[in-house]
Amino acid sequence: MKALLKRTMGVILAVGLAGSLAACSSGSSSNGAQSNESGSIKLTLWDQSVGNTDPTAKLLPTIIDKWNSDHPDIQIERTGTTGEQYKTKIKTSIAAGEAPDVFYGMGGGSFMEPYIKSGNVLDISSYLTDDLKAKLGPGMAEAIENDGKIYTLPVYTHIANLYVNTELFDKAGAKLPTTYKELLDAVDKLKAAGITPALIGEKDRWPGMYWYDIIAMRQAGNEAVKEAFKDPSKWNSPDFVAAAAKMQELAKAGAFNSSMFSMSYDEMLGAFNAGNGAMMVQANWVNAGIEDPSSAAKGKVKVIPFPVFEDGKGTNTEIFGGAVDGFYISSTTKHPKEAAEFLKYLSEQLGTQGYLAGAGLPSWKTDGLDTSGLSSLDLSSAEIMKTATSFIAWWDNILPAESAETHKNLIAQLLAGDITPEEFCKQMAQLQPTELNL
Amino acid sequence: MMNSVFSNKTAITIFVLPTLLIFCAIVLVPIFVSSYYSLLDWNGVGKGAYIGFHNYVELFTDSRALNSMKNSLLFAAASIFIQLPLSLLLALILASNVKGEGFYRTVYFIPVLISTVVIAQLWSKIYNADYGLLNTLLENVGLSHLAQDWLGQKKTALIASFIPTLWQYIGYHMLLMYAGAKSISQDIFEAAKIDGASRVRTAFLITIPLMKPVLKVCLVFSVIGAFKVFDLIYVLTGGGPFFTTEVPSTLMYTTIFDTYRYGYGSAISVFIILECLVVTLIINKFIKTE
């Protein structure tokens, strides 16, 4: 009996072993055959476009499918991850030396700068032809240059402006503001009508930063802001104190939702789209969400330039934004040439088709494209961008990472009334100068 | 049979080795690597500069870091003095042959099973200043003057973010304690009953002293849990407003991923590990179970 049991066990083990060996070998041989037959190269792509109402999230798969069927020898495998998580994920994988071949990067600022400096990103200048550069929109070829080298191609441009819910303005009998005084008036009227004048998702801290930054640009003018980025002691000057005072005045006048410190960016968009607030300073990436059929504010929202100030040096053609985001190639990729080919295709396709789908303003020439399908928000954003005389992108992208954190924290304190405008500017003057060429 | 396995060194090695290797690879090695990183001024890419114990000096002089440590100590205190007594009370009630024992056991354990992120989302909706359950409730019972932005204000944010975590793990400790209480021999209770001891007296003089080993385990888990808490705070408040709810782990996250200071962040992580180790040693030293 015992002997029989032993023998049976032996047989079972042997069969099991053979089975698993067979499974392994068949798996590996078929894989090997596949890659030998077609010689196909696999490139990995990471991006952050996964939102329900994000037009890019819908476009990307179709663009990649088309590429994959046109290029059987270069196959793209895409992984999408949502915004804040994406940033953590890409930072970790670059630090670990395991970056994907092609990945999305927040361009023109402190996000990509450390990786460019330390050589983690591939210089693609040699792969770009003049023909291709000629297809870029005006100023774009210069915008992506970094110390004479090019690491990315632009996809979209984003600019921030004031979004107003006209229905709520009408209800309150308020006028769409074009000056600071009118803005304060509108706040009073909206408040009197029981409407939250403006929404800030200050839990994430950057939505509040958008308000201060654009106020400072209107007060001091874009040139003065650029100077201060290079020489932070200039943050402590009367214009920036006045800007901080205006920001605090708005907060004290009750312009912002009382729940701002517990409201996240996503909740802010949700509240604005539900018609629970009359104003919001955001970039045109919110357009598709506002125009989504699920949004109660659909068709009622207008985008207008942020008001100018009676005593300000800035004009409404000085734009907050112009940030060029794009895809980058990891310097560890085994197939730089193929990755560059794909990058060129992806950037142009996404830049033009994405514009038509309302994902962002174009960084590529759009002559001959049919723009009739664009929403009024997209069209008016494009109109505002056409008037631009100067651009300054998101300050937290321009400032070195640690100073960007301090900047956002200071604005939160200003909004809460914890520091005076003077203290705010004194601390701003302690920031590090930017490492970028503005 | 069992004894022969335990005395067989080869068998022990074979069974323990895989786990030991995995443990080394994903726990011990990273701890040593982090300890090394904590001595660097490093932005996560390229080469870091060796700066000795500078990061640790900063850790103990930076008011934001000290505040996060204070918060985690407060949180540990809340766990010991609020969470554990409540768990004990519930465990004793549950173990005293109440009706629906199984039902209550399951109900209290449900929060432990749900992902912390879901719990955090749930509570942030309860606390929401505009449409939250808590404010609505207060308004409906005529206490509308108490309604406020619970997670958005300095004075309430810390307590408001402690409550969900304390609540979430009450069921976990309750179950451990319940198992401890149930494992006490019924003879002892019967003897106490014959002697005429009241339920409260039985609990304090017999059940609780005999549960000491379990209570010690709960104490260690709950304190370490408090020191390590991350996900709930991160989702509820992100450490804000104005760092009032910041704990060392959220500070570590911001330091590494928002300001690219991998060296300083690693120093914070090493601090958390040491903090947990020291507390475990202290508890083991002062509460003897044998």
Quick: pLDDT tens for A148-191: 899 999 898 899 999 999 999 999 999 999 999 999 999 999 99
Q: Which of A17-31, A259-273, B182-196 has the lowest mean pLDDT?
A: A17-31
**pLDDT score recorded for residue A20:** 45
Helix (H, G, I), strand (E, B) or coil at B206: helix
Give me the residue from A94, A204, A276 closest to B45, CB to CB: A94
Delineate the domains of chain A, giving CATH numbers in brackets: 18-155+323-373 (3.40.190.10), 160-320+393-428 (3.40.190.10)
Taking the CA of residue B45 and the nearest CA in chain A, the distance in Å comes to 5
**pLDDT score recorded for residue A6:** 56
**pLDDT score recorded for residue A82:** 83
- Identify the H or E element spanning A384: helix A376-386
Give me the residue from B152, B237, B258 closest to A259, CB to CB: B152
Helix (H, G, I), strand (E, B) or coil at A183: helix
**Looking at beta carbons, which residues of chain B come within 8 Å of A402?**
259-261
The single residue listed with the structure tokens 């670990």 is: A96
**Contact B238/A at CB under 8 A:** yes
Give me the residue from A88, A117, A418 closest to B257, CB to CB: A88
**pLDDT score recorded for residue A31:** 37
The model's pLDDT over A367-410, given as tens digits with 9 standing for 90+, comes to: 888 888 889 999 999 999 888 898 899 998 899 888 999 999 99
Q: How high does pLDDT run on average in chain B?
A: 90
**Looking at beta carbons, which residues of chain B come within 8 Å of A202?**
241
B228 burial level (CB within 10 Å; 0-12, 13-18, 19+): middle
B254:A405 CB<8 A: yes
**pLDDT score recorded for residue B2:** 57
**pLDDT score recorded for residue A28:** 37
pLDDT score of A327 more than 90 = yes
**Contact B234/A at CB under 8 A:** no
Task: Please report which confidence band the pLDDT of residue A7 belongs to, taking 50, 70 and 90 as the band edges.
Answer: low
For residue B241, say if its preceding peptide bond is cis, omega within 30 degrees of 0.
Answer: yes
The model's pLDDT over B58-87, given as tens digits with 9 standing for 90+, comes to: 999 999 999 999 999 999 999 999 999 999
- DSSP code for A176: P
**pLDDT score recorded for residue A21:** 42
**pLDDT score recorded for residue A167:** 96
B241:A91 CB<8 A: no
B46:A114 CB<8 A: yes
**Contact A409/B at CB under 8 A:** yes
Q: How high does pLDDT run on average in chain A?
A: 87
Is residue A287 within 8 A of residue A382, CB to CB? The reply is: no
The pair phi, psi for residue A133, each rounded to 5°, is -65, -30
pLDDT score of A11 more than 80 = no
B260:A117 CB<8 A: no
Helix (H, G, I), strand (E, B) or coil at B169: helix
A258:B43 CB<8 A: no
Average pLDDT on A84-101 reads: 87
Total residues belonging to chain B: 290
Give me the residue from B44, B130, B241 closest to A261, CB to CB: B241
The model's pLDDT over A95-140, given as tens digits with 9 standing for 90+, comes to: 888 899 999 988 667 788 888 888 899 999 999 988 888 888 887 8
**Contact B130/A at CB under 8 A:** yes
Give me the residue from A115, A120, A259 closest to B129, CB to CB: A259
Of the candidates A197, A317, A417, the one whose C-alpha atom is nearest the C-alpha of residue B242 is A417
Percent of chain A with pLDDT over 70: 91
The model's pLDDT over B76-117, given as tens digits with 9 standing for 90+, comes to: 999 999 999 999 999 999 988 888 888 998 999 999 999 999
**pLDDT score recorded for residue A4:** 54
| Rounded Cα distance, A415 and A244, in Å | 9
Predicted TM-score (pTM) of this structure: 0.84
- Identify the H or E element spanning A67: helix A55-70
Neighbours of A190 (CB within 10 A): 25
The single residue listed with the structure tokens 């912390």 is: B116
Of the candidates A263, A255, A284, A280, the one whose C-alpha atom is nearest the C-alpha of residue A201 is A263
A 262-281 residues inside an 8 A Cβ radius of B: 262-263, 271, 276
The model's pLDDT over B204-258, given as tens digits with 9 standing for 90+, comes to: 888 899 999 999 999 999 999 999 999 999 999 988 799 999 999 999 999 988 8
